[in-house]
Structure 1
Amino acid sequence: MADVVKVPSGSKLGIGFSRAIRVGDLVFVSGCAPIAKDGSVASPGDVKAQTKRCFEIIEGALVQAGADLKHVVRTRIFLTDMSRWKEAGEAHGEIFKDIEPVTSFLGTNALINSEWLVEVEADAVIARG
C-alpha cells in the first residue's frame, strides 16, 4: 500500500474533506474556490483573477503534498457562466503554457457561494518531472 498524505482543507464547513491527498506519486487536489486569505471572496466579478486565486490555492496544496505546479497533469475548471471561459483560459495559459496539462472547462449552474464564478480541481504526478 502506498503512503497516503492528507493536506487539510482548513474548511469550517464540517463536511469532511481534504484540500489534497497524495497517494504514492499521485496528488489529487479538491475543488478550490476563489477564497481570499482573509476568507472573503477574491476579486468579485473577475473570472480571470478568481481563476488565478484558485491556482494559488492549488499550488499551496501541491507544495504541502511534496509536489509543484510542474507536476500537474490534469485540471478541471468549473464555471457558472461558460461565455466567460476564455478569461479562465487566459489565467490557465499564464500558469501552464509550458506544462500543458489536459484540461476541461465545465459549466455548472451554481457553486456554493453565488459570488464564486469559478472553481478548479487539479491532479498531479510527482514522477512527471
Structure 2
Amino acid sequence: MQIPKDPTTGGLSRGDIREQSRRVFEGLKESMREAGGSLRDVTLVQVFLISAADWSAMNEVWAEYFTEAPFPERATIVAKELARPEMLIEIVAFAYVEAA
C-alpha cells in the first residue's frame, strides 16, 4: 500500500491530486527497487480516489510512470473518504519479482 508521503518530511503530502499521485508512484517505485524489481514487475494496481473528478489528473501522472507495455491491470475505486482527511489518493499494488 502506498500513501502520498512527502519524502522530505516523512509526513503526508498536502499537495493537489497530481502531487499526491507522484508521491504514491514514487513510493511504489522505491518499494519495487528495494524488492529487487521495478515498475515493470507490477501486475495490478488498485487506485482509491476520493473524487471521480481527480481521475484524469491521476491518469496523466500514471502515464509518466507506466510508460511501456505490458501495463499493469488497474482498478480505480472512488471512496467517500480515505484513512486521513488530507489524502486524495491511496494505492495498493501487486507485483511479481523473481527470486535472484
1:111 maps to 82
Residue 94 of structure 2 is aligned to residue 120 of structure 1: no
Deviation at 1:98, TM superposition (A): 1.1
Structure 1 unaligned spans of 5+: 1-30
1:60 maps to 30
Instruction: Indicate the RMSD between aligned Cα atoms, in angstroms.
Output: 1.4
What count of residue pairs does the alignment treat as equivalent? Answer: 96
State which of 15, 35, 38 in structure 1 corresponds to 2:5.
35
State which of 70, 73, 77 in structure 1 corresponds to 2:47.
77
Using the aligned pairs only, state the percent identity. 25
Q: What SS class does the counterpart of residue 36 from structure 1 fall into? A: coil
Higher helix share: 2
In 2, distance between residues paired with 1:112 and 1:125? 27
Q: Which has the higher contact order (CA 8 A, sep 6+)?
A: 2
Structure 2 unaligned spans of 5+: none
Structure whose CA Rg is larger: 1
Runs ≥4 in structure 1, deviation > 3 angstroms?
Answer: none
Residue 57 of structure 2 is aligned to residue 87 of structure 1: yes
1:27 maps to none
TM-score, normalising length: structure 1? 0.68
**Contact persistence 1:74–1:124 (CA under 8 A):** yes
TM-score, normalising length: structure 2? 0.86
In 2, distance between residues paired with 1:67 and 1:102? 17
